[in-house]
Amino acid sequence: MRKKIVAGNWKMNKTLQEGVELAKTVNRQVEDNGVIVILCTPFIHLSEVNNVITKDSLFLGAQNCASETSGAFTGEVSVDMIKSTGSEYVIIGHSERRSYYHEDDAQLNKKTKLALAAGLTPIFCCGEVLAERQANNHMKVVKTQIENGLFDLSPEDFAKVVIAYEPVWAIGTGVNATSDQAQEMHKAIRELVAEKYGTQVANNTSILYGGSCKPSNAKELFANPDVDGGLIGGASLNASDFMGIVNAF
Ligand code: 13P
């Protein structure tokens, strides 16, 4: 069966020392009870945070990776570098990367393949902006992002990918998708995957919800049959909020 996952995306927050302290607290509180917990830290935190992880259910991830393997790409961080820190996951295609850094589907497809080749698990993000939802285009937008980003992967490779649905209008706004909106989209994503890769692969694909997820709404969101966990921004910066969400399962 598919995995239950709660991943914290710290974004550009926390000094190295603050990040290590947060990771220590989370590590202390994580129970090895079947929920996979992932800390997606800034690049420079990865190695140090890896050193504080002792729990079997706690994993490390990056928030982005380069679309090239190595060489003269000043400021970039490769998948092999990420892997060498002890990371096992990498977020790809977060809406902030898509909008602020103009990462397009082709580039995200390339990053996904590089991550898989390096032995990292991609957490592939998709989601519509408010105008797209208001125009009733949200299903089509997400379908296109997933098809262009992932659907030339082999079934073996696709089976390793985690998908995160993050409606852009819900990110950092305090306005989460309703439980019904999340379920509707997650179900549509799973059906799309089933059409392409078959029911077995679709049923084993973890689809996370992200966007103003907090301890007070996590239980209701995670209770949906097609919501397999969360990708958490703001609430992952505080151990008690983050663990409140992890314990919502
Ligand atoms: P918030 O939880 O702060 O809305 O952010 C969600 C997100 O973007 C996680 O990647």
**pLDDT score, position 18:** 98
Ligand 1 centre distance from Cα of residue 132 (Å): 19
Q: Distance between CA atoms of 82 and 70, rounded to whole angstroms?
A: 12
Alpha-carbon radius of gyration of the chain:
17
Ligand 1 centre distance from Cα of residue 60 (Å): 17
Does the Cβ of 231 fall within 6 Å of ligand 1?
yes
- Domain enclosing residue 89, as ranges: 4-246
94 tagged catalytic: yes
Each residue's pLDDT tens digit, 23-71: 999 999 999 889 999 999 999 999 999 999 999 999 999 999 999 999 9
166 tagged catalytic: yes
**pLDDT score, position 61:** 99
Instruction: Calculate the average pLDDT of the chain.
Output: 98
Does the Cβ of 94 fall within 6 Å of ligand 1?
yes
Number of domains in the chain: 1
Does the Cβ of 229 fall within 6 Å of ligand 1?
no
Does the Cβ of 9 fall within 6 Å of ligand 1?
yes
Ligand 1 atom with least separation from CA of 214: 2
What's the average model confidence in pLDDT over 74-85?
98
Q: By the 8 A CB rule, do 203 and 247 touch?
A: no
**pLDDT score, position 1:** 83
Q: Distance between CA atoms of 59 and 88, rounded to whole angstroms?
A: 7
Each residue's pLDDT tens digit, 6-21: 999 999 999 999 999 9
Q: Around Cβ 160, how many Cβ atoms within 10 Å?
A: 14
Q: Distance between CA atoms of 126 and 29, rounded to whole angstroms?
A: 30
Ligand 1 centre distance from Cα of residue 248 (Å): 17
What's the average model confidence in pLDDT over 165-177?
96
What's the average model confidence in pLDDT over 212-229?
98
Provide the CATH number for the domain around residue 242.
Answer: 3.20.20.70
Beta strand spans in the chain (E) = 4-9, 35-40, 58-62, 89-92, 121-126, 162-165, 207-210, 229-232
Q: pTM for this one?
A: 0.98
Question: For strand 89-92 and strand 121-126, is the pairing parallel, antiparallel, or unpaired?
Answer: parallel
Catalytic residue among 45, 94, 138, 186: 94
Q: In which band, very low, low, confident or very high, does the pLDDT at 108 lie, cut at 50, 70 and 90?
A: very high
For atom 2 of ligand 1, the residue with the nearest CA is: 233
For atom 5 of ligand 1, the residue with the nearest CA is: 233
**pLDDT score, position 249:** 87
